[in-house]
Chain A
Amino acid sequence: MTKTLRIVLDVLKPHQPNALEFSSALADLGEDYRVKLTVTEVDKKTESTIVTIEGADINFENIKNAIEKMGASVHSIDEVEVCGTKST
């Protein structure tokens, strides 16, 4: 088993919920989640964002579901940091 420590996502989201509400909703998914959201492009109805999530054990499926629930979509996983947990 591996644990995901950091994940960087390219997310296309609607203007509402706004960046603060959006990232706070993601941070609420895990006790130790730290979320950083950078808006890279603003369109008439959408915002392109880079979302960085850090935590001791990030659950990607939960994050993806929450993002889709808020009307946004994950375009790509741009960066990950994982660590193995198997003891030798």
Chain B
Amino acid sequence: MIFNKKQLLLHVLRARSIARRYLFTNGFDGSLTMLGMVTGFYVAEMKDLSVAISACLGATVALFISGLSSAYLSEKAEREKELRELEQALLVNLKESDYGHASRYLPILVALVNGLAPLVLSLVILLPLFFAEQLRSLPSSPFLNSIFVALICIFSLGVFIGKISKQFWLWSGLRTLITAIVTVIIILLFGLSI
């Protein structure tokens, strides 16, 4: 039922669709950034894993904080504007209404989604680097394993967005995968030319 308080709040300002959009946008952003970084380290034939992990973790934290703060500030401003316009149209104070609660609660939810999406995906992509010792028995380098995990994450995001838009999931996944592969190719070409 929609009349559960939280669901009503979510419904009032279409929070789910906004959160989904942020989840994909910043999740994709974070995954592609990590893919770029690990590809760069692979091309540069980086031997010191701890340096690579530190650099990637630094970028992950920056993506998390940037996602958290930018979404909170922009969404808060947007909701306050919407609330003011609605208050003017209704000629009432909506602070204590569901709209008022939603305009305070929604920016926090959206900021968390926007910050956590790149954080979680980046950490998943970095897993092969964290477990490099255990994975040393594998024929490929930890960076290659990370690139492979990043491609899976990006493909999964494509499938996710395909399911939402009710498109064929494989085609949608392949589109994001092609974007990622093009990124890897460009970085490889840059790496070879340096």
Contacts and interface: CB of A to CB of B under 8 A. Distances in A.
A80 interface: no
A4 interface: no
A70 interface: yes
A65 to B, nearest CB: 10
Contacts, number: 47
B155 interface: no
A68 B96 contact: yes
Contacts of B99: 14, 71
B89 A71 contact: no
Interface string A46-88: 1000000000000000000000111111000000000000000
Contacts of A16: 11-12
Nearest to B2: A21
A68 B97 contact: yes
B3 A71 contact: no
A73 B98 contact: no
A43 interface: yes
Contacts of A19: none
Interface residues of A, number: 19
A24 B3 contact: yes
B85 A69 contact: no
A71 B90 contact: yes
A16 B17 CA distance: 15
B3 A25 contact: yes
Nearest to A25: B3
B8 A45 contact: no
A43 B91 CA distance: 14
B144 interface: no
A44 B89 contact: yes
A12 B12 contact: no
Interface string B89-106: 111101011110000000
B86 interface: yes
B86 A71 contact: yes
Interface string A4-37: 0000000011101100010011001000000000
Given A17-B12, A21-B11, 12 more contacts: A13-B90, A17-B8, A21-B2, A25-B3, A45-B86, A45-B89, A46-B89, A70-B97, A71-B12, A71-B97, A73-B90, A73-B91
26 contacts: A13-B90, A14-B89, A14-B99, A16-B11, A16-B12, A17-B2, A17-B11, A21-B2, A21-B3, A21-B11, A28-B3, A45-B85, A45-B86, A45-B89, A45-B90, A46-B89, A46-B90, A69-B97, A69-B98, A71-B12, A71-B86, A71-B94, A71-B97, A72-B90, A73-B90, A73-B91
